[in-house]
Chain A
Amino acid sequence: MSSEAGQQHPLGIYYKIWVLLFVLSTFSYLVDYYNVQGSMRWALVIIFMILKAGFIVAIFMHVVWERMALVFTILGPPVVLLLLISFMAVEGAYTEGTRFDYMGHDRNAVALGPNDIHHEDAGHGEAAEAH
């Protein structure tokens, strides 16, 4: 049962997917590079992520060519994880709300970046980064 066929496919499809993964990764990176923000950022990053993950699983891991019994074993159980993610998201939003509403945490706090931090110790950090 083992070696009569294996997973042998023309090389061309691997090259195409390889190039496609590079292109999709570049697109995700450009989302950050051009500083796209808000819901557009989420949409683009998640679309590129799902496409990349899909191509890796389907083609590189050969799942499109596997028999249904194995495909369902692989893709079925992780579906319950979506339930975990949605429960934890609901719970997280609730916890955050109570912290703002009852513990007086600041809704408008802003994060610091490396430049804000290293500014104070006489450009030491910037000098170190430049080399």
Chain B
Amino acid sequence: MSELAVNQAQPQSGLDGLVDDWTADKQTYHVPWGKAMMWIFLVSDTFIFTCFLTGYLNVRMTTTQPWPPQSEIFALSFGGAPIPLILIAIMTFVLISSSGTMAMAVNMGYRKDKMKTFWLMCATAAFGVTFVSMQAFEWSKLILDEGVRPWGNPFGAPQFGSVFFMITGFHGLHVSAGVIYLLIVAFKVKRGDYDKKGFEIVEIAGLYWHFVDLVWVFIFAFFYLL
């Protein structure tokens, strides 16, 4: 009974709130448990991707062979001269668009507008499928036309291939899993599974999706641009 009373008291904010949340004998995070768990998963995923990118930093620094020119390798021609890195730029815009529709879906979820939430989540998943398709195109172009392999390539440092396949592959896997996750949640929203429980689940799915976009921001900068 006393625990109930403590939990219902208005929590303090700021630094006092931080100390109070961690030290008082009560619940630390004032969010649904699913959201706290998603955040903890995302923090662990941050470590995985950072380890990949740090591994990339290390092999790129230690290799004495020149690093292949990404700007030319990922160029694409639409009839005329090849435009540098254009495929990756389009993929970046697709992923940002999907992040926008996802943010809208979360907002509509809290407004209890189920149909808008459903369609916005479907749009997000569609952008995700577009992204993965473009990545499949990019992979097949590199493997079949350019002869890039995890152990070597015709351009320069052989580490380029292993880093490329591992990092973009792991990210693509996250996008694909995200598409499935979003579609499941979208259909459950439409069916009315969350009418009583509330629509935090849309925000939780959204956190995962935004994280996938966030990882791409770093891959785009470190792997493709620098």
Contact = CB atoms under 8 A, between A and B. Distances in A.
Interface of A: 1-3, 6-9, 11, 14, 17-18, 21-22, 25, 28-29, 31-33, 35, 41-42, 45-46, 48-49, 52-53, 56-57, 60-62, 66-70, 72-74, 77-78, 81, 84-85, 88-89, 91-93, 95-96, 99-100, 103, 105-107, 109-115, 117, 125, 128-130
Given A41-B226, A68-B14, A111-B155, A1 B30 contact: yes
B210 A92 contact: no
Contacts of B43: 73-74, 77-78
Contacts of B64: 96, 99-100, 103, 105-107, 109
Contacts, number: 213
B145 A125 contact: yes
B29 A69 contact: yes
A129 B72 CA distance: 12
A25 B220 CA distance: 10
A25 B85 CA distance: 13
A95 B61 contact: yes
Nearest to A91: B58
Range of interface residues on chain B?
35 or more
B119 to A, nearest CB: 16
A92 B58 contact: yes
A7 B92 contact: no
Contacts of B213: 56, 60
A83 B148 CA distance: 32
Contact of B71 (A3, A32, A61, A77): A32
Contacts of A85: 50, 54, 57
